[in-house]
Amino acid sequence: MTDSGYNVGDLVAEFLSRIGVTTCFGIVSVHNIPMLDAIGRRNAIRYVMARNEMGGAHMADAYARVSGHLGVIFSSTGPGAANAVPGLAEAQFAGSPVLHITGQTATKFIDRDMGTVHDLPGQTAMLAAVSKAAFRIRSAQEALGVLTRAAALALTPPMGPVSVEVPIDIQRTVIPRPAQLDTLVLPVPPPLPPSEAELDEAAEILARARRPMLWLGNGAKAAGAAAMRLLDLGFGAVSSWNGRGIIPEDHPMTFGGLHGNGAPRIQEFYRSVDAMLVVGSKLRGHETMDFSLKLPDVLVHVDVDPCANGRTYPNRAFVCGDAGLVMEALAKRLKGRMKVDPGFAAEFQETRKLATAEYQATLGPYADFPVELRRALPRDALWVRDVTISNSSWGNRIFPVYGPRDAVHPVSAAIGPGLPMGIGAALAGGGRKAIAMVGDGGFALNQTELWTAVQERAELVVMVMNDRGYGVIKHIQGALQDGRMFFGDLQGPDLQKLAAVAGLPAFRVSSTEELAGTVAKAVATPGPSLVEVDMTAIGAFPPYAPYNTMGIYARKAGGGTPPPPPGEPPRPPPAGG
C-alpha cells in the first residue's frame, strides 16, 4: 500500500495476483498510474511494456491462447483505449479470455464532453462493441465485485475479451482491504453438461454412419483426449484453423487444417462421408468459402453456445454442452455400435496424402517451405502467423501442428498482429521457442514491438516474408479487379539494419535450400532473432485459393485445373503470377 493507505489501485494489483495472473501487458499512462504503481510495488506480476496498446492487446490475446489462462492488458483512456480496439476485436473473433483494464477521467467529468485529458465520451460503448462485455467501476466499494464479474465472464465459455474502466479518482481512493481477497475464487461455472436426450439423439444418428468424420474447432481445444476416443472408434478428423493440433497432425486419421477450402480432393471426399460431427466450431464463412463448402448432409453440431444452433450450416441434431463432456458421452454410447466401412481408413489416408501433395504443388517456388520449416523447428515450437500470403496459403493448411495450444493466428484476418502475438506466445511458452511468420506489410504495422521482444528476452524467431508489398491484396486485385494492382508496393527499411538497431541477431534466406539451416541457427540463438526471407530472390508466390481460379488467373489457367480422379497423381498447378 502507499503511505496514505490501501487504495483501489492496490486492490486491482492484489486481485490479479489472487486469481493467478503472473504476466500483464500494456502501456503506462496518466490514467492508470495508481494501478501500475501497485503492481510495481508488489513485484508479484511481470509487467510487459508494449510499445503501443494494439501490440499489448495482441500479446495478451496470444498469451491467453498458449497458456490457457487469462490474458491481461492495461491501457490508457480515450486514444489509448481506442488503440487497444484491434487487439480486443481479434480476441473476440478468436474466443480468447482477455481482461482489458483501462483508466478513465475523473468520475465527475466522464461522458460530459468537457475536454479533460484523454476523455472520450462514449468510451464504454466503443469497448462493448469489440468485447464480450464492458464495465465501468462507479465507486470504490463496487471495485472488487466488478473485477470479479469481469474476469469470470472472460473465462466463461464462449470465452472472449472483457473491458473494465477504472476512473482515476476511484483508483486513488483509500479503502479497507477486502477480506474476501483471502478466499477469492472466480465464479466460473463448471463445464456445461449436455442433455441426455440430445446425446441420445446424436448417438442414434452417428451410430448409423459407416464413414464418419469429426470437425474440431476452438471450443474443443481442451478435449483432445475425448476426440481421440472417437478416432479410436473409426472417425476421421479435420480442424478449423483455430482448432489445429487438438489431434496431433501426424496422426494418420486427421486432415489437420486442410479442410476443403482450396483442396478439391478433400471436397470430393466429403461426398462419401455419411455423417459429420462438428464440435466447438462456428464453421466460419472465412474458412467455408462463405458457406459454399459442401459438407455432409448428415451433420451433428456440438457447441457450448446455444446460439450456434443452425447459425451457419443446418444440422440434423444439436447438442449444447461442453465439448469434452459431449464427446466422452458420445464415445460411450457409440462403443460397440459403429460399423465403419473397412476401407474408410485407408481411403482417408490416401486422400490426405494426395490432397497435401496437390496443395503443395500449387505453391510454386515455395512448395518445400512447409516441410523444410517444420524440419528446422522443435516439435513443441509455437507456430504464430500474420495474414501474410504464406500463411493464407500453406501456413493455415499444411504446416503440421502437434499440440492444441501450439498455433496462433489472426482469426479476424487482420494484418499486423503477428509480431506482438509472437511475443505473447513466447512469454507464455515456458521456454519453448516461438516463430512468428509475418509479411513485410504486416510487420510494418507493429515493428516497434521488436524492442519489446529484445527487452523481454522473448524466445522468438521473427520470420519476415519480404516481397516488398501486399502480396495477398495483389492476388485479390488480380482475381477481382481484372489485374489492376494499385497501392500494393511498399518501401520498407533494410531489415538487417533494423534488427541491428534493435539489438537482435538477423539472418537472411535467399533460396529454399537455405531455409531449414538458417531457421535452425535462429532457433538455437538465445532470445529473439530475425530471419528475412527474400521473396524477390526466391520468386513470385503463385495465386492461392480461391483467387487462383478467378479473374486473370482463371484465364491464364484456361479456366482452372480440376482435381485428378482418385488414385491418380496430382496434375501440374495452374499458371499464374
From the options 3.40.50.970, 3.30.230.10, 3.30.420.40, 1.10.760.10, give the CATH code of 8-176: 3.40.50.970
Its sign, for the CA torsion 168, 172, 177, 183, is positive
Q: CA-to-CA distance for 493 and 476, rounded, in angstroms?
A: 25
Distance CA(183)–CA(434), nearest Å, equals 36
Instruction: Check residue 513 and give its pLDDT.
Output: 98
CA distances from 477 to 7, 238, 480, 482 (A): 56, 31, 5, 7
Nearest C-alpha neighbor of 403 from the set 530, 244, 549, 205: 244
Residue pointed to by grid coordinates 514491438: 449
Q: Which among 49, 116, 43, 21 is positioned nearest to 78, based on CA atoms? A: 116
Q: Which three cell numbers stand for residue 75?
A: 491501457
Annotated domain spans of the chain: 8-176, 196-354, 362-556
In sign, the C-alpha dihedral spanning 441, 361, 380, 235 is positive
- Alpha helices by DSSP H, listed for 122-278, are 123-129, 143-155, 168-171, 196-207, 224-232, 264-270
Per-residue model confidence (pLDDT) at position 558: 65
To the nearest 10 degrees (0 to 180), the angle between helices 369-376 and 512-524 is 20
Q: Give the class (CATH, top level) of 196-354.
A: alpha beta
Identify the segments of the chain with pLDDT beneath 70: 1-2, 557-577
Q: How far is the C-alpha of 155 from the C-alpha of 152, rounded, in Å?
A: 5
Q: Please say whether the dihedral angle defined by the alpha carbons of residues 116, 120, 125 and 127, taken in this order, is positive or negative.
A: negative
Strand extents, DSSP E, 314-357: 317-320
User: Which residues have a Cβ under 8 Å from the Cβ of 237 and sit 6 or more positions away?
Assistant: 213, 214, 215, 216, 227, 230, 231, 247, 251, 253, 254, 255
The strand pairing partners of 460, in sequence order, are 434
DSSP state of 212: E
Q: 165 has which bridge partners?
A: 102, 136
Q: Furthest-apart CA pair in the chain: how many Å? A: 79
Q: State the Cα–Cα distance between residues 316 and 72, nearest whole angstrom.
A: 40
Report DSSP letters for 66-122, one per residue: HHSS-EEEEE-STHHHHHTHHHHHHHHHHT--EEEEEEES-GGGTTS----TT--TT
Cα–Cα distance for residue pair 270/295, rounded to 1 Å: 6
Identical fold, 8-176 and 362-556: yes
Q: How far apart are CA 200 and CA 491, in angstroms?
A: 60
Kindly list the distances between the CA atom of residue 146 and the CA atoms of 150, 165, 221, 437, 456, in Å, as whole numbers in the listed order.
6, 10, 28, 38, 31
Give every CB contact of residue 555 below 8 A, 6+ residues apart in sequence.
none
Eight-state DSSP code of residue 219: G
On the CB side of 516, CA atoms within 13 Å amount to 10
Q: For residue 571, what pLDDT is reported?
A: 38
3-class state of residue 184 by DSSP: coil
Question: Collapsing DSSP states into helix, strand and coil, what is residue 191?
Answer: coil
Q: Which residues contact 266 (CB under 8 A, 6 or more apart)?
A: 238, 255, 258, 259, 260, 351, 355
Q: How many whole angstroms separate alpha carbon 242 and alpha carbon 386?
A: 13
Query: Are 359 and 502 contacting, i.e. CB atoms less than 8 angstroms apart?
Result: no
Contact 296, 163 (CB under 8 A): no
CATH number attached to the domain at 362-556: 3.40.50.970
Q: In this structure, what C-alpha cell is assigned to residue 193?
A: 453438461
Nearest to 85 by CA among 125, 49, 116, 34: 125
Q: In the sheet where 212-216 sits, what is the strand order?
A: 236-239, 212-216, 275-279, 299-303, 317-320
Task: Find the angle CA(406)-CA(408)-CA(413) to the nearest 5 degrees.
Answer: 155
Distances (CA, A) of 368 to 365, 371, 384: 8, 6, 19
- Which strands form 460-466's sheet, in the order they lie side by side? 407-408, 382-385, 434-439, 460-466, 529-534, 506-509
